[in-house]
Structure 1
């Protein structure tokens, strides 16, 4: 019998030897880790068999009586699921009804609220504390006294303070309080005497917010002789007097059909209100004409009769009464002009300004300072300063308007009307 030939043995390559060595090393490592985990008690033990459950049934818990559900709130229904054709008369009528309902709701929110308003009833944020504001009636700076000196400037930082939740349209100052107005009729009062937060603190300042108007508040004014009373002019056609001593906001004036854009007073007269409207009218009203009842509350049946002048066909963004010469007022208008008017010789039929300056774009506000200079802000992103005392008004004819130029002009990139308000 012939011998069987043995097959030649093939030698493993170096790569195969290395692969097998790696597998063996890995298995040994896993085995070692498993043994160490068992000795340390980290691996879960085999669960013990569950005890046989008792055949006795547990008593079912008593169910609490379910209260009757309230009537479901009507939800928006789908016209497609209801089988209504988009262009059908039913769909059109349904859309018109929804539009009218929403329109009525918006008009109700924007409608002016007549009568007296108590501060604790119109609060939006914070708590109204009348006692903390009593000091305003007795304390305050003297006339033309500087209240913000060089030391205050050094202590001032560039850190912004977010006072109102909505866009602010202006700022006014009391001795220790700052009232601010926004675009929805809210009035915010910030206690400026409170200590500022540290670098690591994120606490919000103490702010009281009330809602004396149903439309945006366009302007505010505090007369120097009555520091406890704040006048606010609003797009809802009314001027309200906020009395801090009585904690009540009363109607000081109501226009017929136009929103108000400004309010000011002469330093020499604490009873006469000057106002401007969105239709280009400037008016003057004596608050002593307001009828009052015996208990001191206002009479809802009173009518307001004011002297009015139609100075322009465009909106008057802001105006100011000259504190040194109250017969002069300065107006800023959408027609790109800043004009100065003399109320003594102002005709209601053909009013004519004594001086004017035309800007490249609309002028948003004009304000006199205590020495009679006029500052304006314009949509050309400039602040202009006019020295009213140097105007040669005597040499002009009564039928002419003096053309003036600013004595100083400051350019900025802060977007007037969006970030800058005077």
Structure 2
């Protein structure tokens, strides 16, 4: 049975040698039993001490400590006064002192003690309830420390449980019930017990039936054998729980056992000694039953075998205490401790200055101080209905911003301002040149494109952190003199990276802060290549003019009532802008007031507008996507509105079951449309149809579940091809996917230096270059 010793959890736990030497005496022992002093390390290193302690531990460590109410026996003392002789009924634990010398209360306790011991004599089979265990078969036995079976003070009874191996404990008398063979047989024949201790309880009941069938002499012999095995420290179930029938047949059968069994037991004993690293014990204490079976003078006086073993063990231990000279050691240690005096510092000379106690204000809770626990702000006397938290990223002024207003930190008017100015001057010389190469990159057919994509590589110097946080937008300047990448960040950062600049301190990276919210769309001006148009969630559309080295405001809402999320250029002066959760789109004319829209119209009955796009050949055709899964084409020339105030739908692209993140026309002829949806599909549509709604002509399975911490995927066409587009990928190893307009997949872009998901992907119009941005602000360039 696997459980802790029943004595665990009680104040009467089983003691060890250290407990004996460090215990404190009970005040009730009186002055005749002086307190033994702790030995500390005085004599524990003595080999004789170690040998004697080992002998005492193996012969029965539980007998080294006396009961809290029993004095330690001396060499000249006989059995302690708590032992009753055999002719008095074998009721161990009753003192034979004359009752005339006791008080009335003590006589009443002694009478109660005799009544209990008459009811529960030694080796009585009982049901004992200990702690949280179920009632368990047990034998009434004597405590090896105090030699008592009943504690009159605590009203406890000492029992030995029929475990495997056996265990002992003091249990309350109210939890003890005498066991009867008839009730045990009826209970064993009924329902079997269930639970953690079911199997162990069944075995204990079987053993209890065997014990109950034996007579009182055989039962006491069985108890004696169990006590002997416990004192010897046996851990084998065969030795600790002997068979009752073997005990009843007598000691002669045990002596006549086969040599093979004896050899096996000796072998097991030697293994236990090696495992526990025990010392060889002195054969002087009586530990075997064979030594007590011969008639002795004690048996002639009526003592039982159990009491003979106990008396001989007491005598052996008293000899050991005398050899160890415990009394002398106690006295010497007590004298040495009494000579140690406490140290008092000298008071002569200068008096030590005492530090004055700091007068601290009375502590109060944040509620009493009227401070908000979340924000740390001082609360007004009256609880407000709304709170206005300080904005860590305030919006820039709705005016043109100089170069000093765009730098990220205060005090950068010096070196960084000069560096940024020189960088923009070098860009202005390059970007003023017109782009004359109208050829497209990556070949002309599927085979050439596959071969060109397979040759692309990424190296460590082609990866850089351009913005400090997540990337929301990307674009590449079409020039071939420089490889200039523009990056829009989460908190309004606009980064420019000259990829081929590997010698400067910043590796060609320069950061500006024209916005205060995510820059969701970036594009170089198609008609003025030295301008970079940016649209942000802060409700502004701005243009970075490299030649003027400032940022101009194209649109800004003073009330900050709407947020702009995407734009597309219609001509040199007009842009169409998506107005987010309002469900509207608006036209911005840079020749008019930058605080007002040229026109505004509703394109979504419900939900927010995600992206907008203009047909490359038909600029009046507007493509929109919404968070409700709607993808529609409108004619912005129409002045009519539907019953819900929404522009009439020119063409409805059906099939989406969840929200869309992007939809774009093919850039050359606008014949195809690619959409990205949260239903894990990439869909390809024709941009025209004979009916008001069309279905996709191709659908591609693609994991688009970017989650909360990644930017959403946006499939972007090659700037000069209608048969090639790129999109990010969630697969391992990390890669960038490329597809044709028919849904065929090209070789994916991957490498050792691409270790994250690139949500935003763009390509160079005339060079075999693909750029991807991840959610930590890093840009990866394949070339």
Please give the TM-score of this superposition, normalised by the length of structure 2. Answer: 0.37
Q: 3-state SS of the aligned residue for 1:289? A: coil
1:219 counterpart = 2:521: yes
Equivalence map 1:16-415=2 (5 Å): 82-85=362-365, 87-88=367-368, 90-91=369-370, 98=377, 106-107=390-391, 109-124=393-408, 127-128=419-420, 129-142=423-436, 145-147=439-441, 153=453, 154-157=455-458, 161-174=464-477, 175=479, 176-194=483-501, 205-255=507-557, 257-266=561-570, 269-279=571-581, 280-290=583-593, 303-312=595-604, 313-345=606-638, 347-348=640-641, 349-354=645-650, 355-370=652-667, 371-372=669-670, 373-388=672-687, 391-392=688-689, 395-396=690-691, 401-412=692-703, 415=706
Q: Offset at 1:186?
A: 0.2
CA contact (8 A) 1:166 1:183 kept: yes
Q: Deviations over 1:297-338 (max 9, x none)?
A: xxxxx6423311122231211111111111111111101122
Cα distance in structure 2, aligned partners of 1:249 and 1:306: 21
Q: Offset at 1:161?
A: 4.6
Q: Offset at 1:402?
A: 1.4
Cα distance in structure 1, aligned partners of 2:396 and 2:620: 32
CA contact (8 A) 2:684 2:699 kept: yes
CA contact (8 A) 1:319 1:332 kept: yes
> Structure 1 residues 130, 307: CA separation in 2 closer, same or farther (over 3 Å shift)?
same
Q: Offset at 1:143?
A: 7.9
Q: Offset at 1:358?
A: 4.2
Cα distance in structure 2, aligned partners of 1:259 and 1:112: 15
Q: Offset at 1:408?
A: 4.0
RMSD: 3.3
Cα distance in structure 2, aligned partners of 1:414 and 1:136: 40
> Structure 1 residues 206, 404: CA separation in 2 closer, same or farther (over 3 Å shift)?
same
Q: Deviations over 1:391-422 (max 9, x none)?
A: 22xx44xxxx4143253424136727725432
Q: Offset at 1:265?
A: 0.8
CA contact (8 A) 2:677 2:704 kept: no
Q: Deviations over 1:164-196 (max 9, x none)?
A: 320101111113211011110000111133469
Q: Which has the higher helix share?
A: 2
Q: 3-state SS of the aligned residue for 1:224? A: coil
Q: Offset at 1:347?
A: 3.2
Cα distance in structure 1, aligned partners of 2:675 and 2:438: 21
Q: Which has the higher strand share?
A: 1
Q: 3-state SS of the aligned residue for 2:585? A: strand
Q: 3-state SS of the aligned residue for 1:240? A: strand
> Structure 1 residues 288, 145: CA separation in 2 closer, same or farther (over 3 Å shift)?
farther
> Structure 1 residues 111, 232: CA separation in 2 closer, same or farther (over 3 Å shift)?
same
Cα distance in structure 2, aligned partners of 1:236 and 1:287: 19
Q: Deviations over 1:96-123 (max 9, x none)?
A: 871779x766336333422111234312
Partner residue of 2:108?
none
**Stretch deviating more after TM superposition (353-362 or 328-337):** 353-362
Larger Rg: 2
Q: 3-state SS of the aligned residue for 1:132? A: helix
Q: 3-state SS of the aligned residue for 1:172? A: strand
Cα distance in structure 1, aligned partners of 2:488 and 2:469: 9
Q: Offset at 1:260?
A: 0.4
Cα distance in structure 1, aligned partners of 2:639 and 2:552: 31
> Structure 1 residues 196, 147: CA separation in 2 closer, same or farther (over 3 Å shift)?
farther
- How many matched pairs? 315
Cα distance in structure 1, aligned partners of 2:439 and 2:378: 55
**Stretch deviating more after TM superposition (109-118 or 211-220):** 109-118
Cα distance in structure 1, aligned partners of 2:631 and 2:379: 41
> Structure 1 residues 163, 385: CA separation in 2 closer, same or farther (over 3 Å shift)?
farther
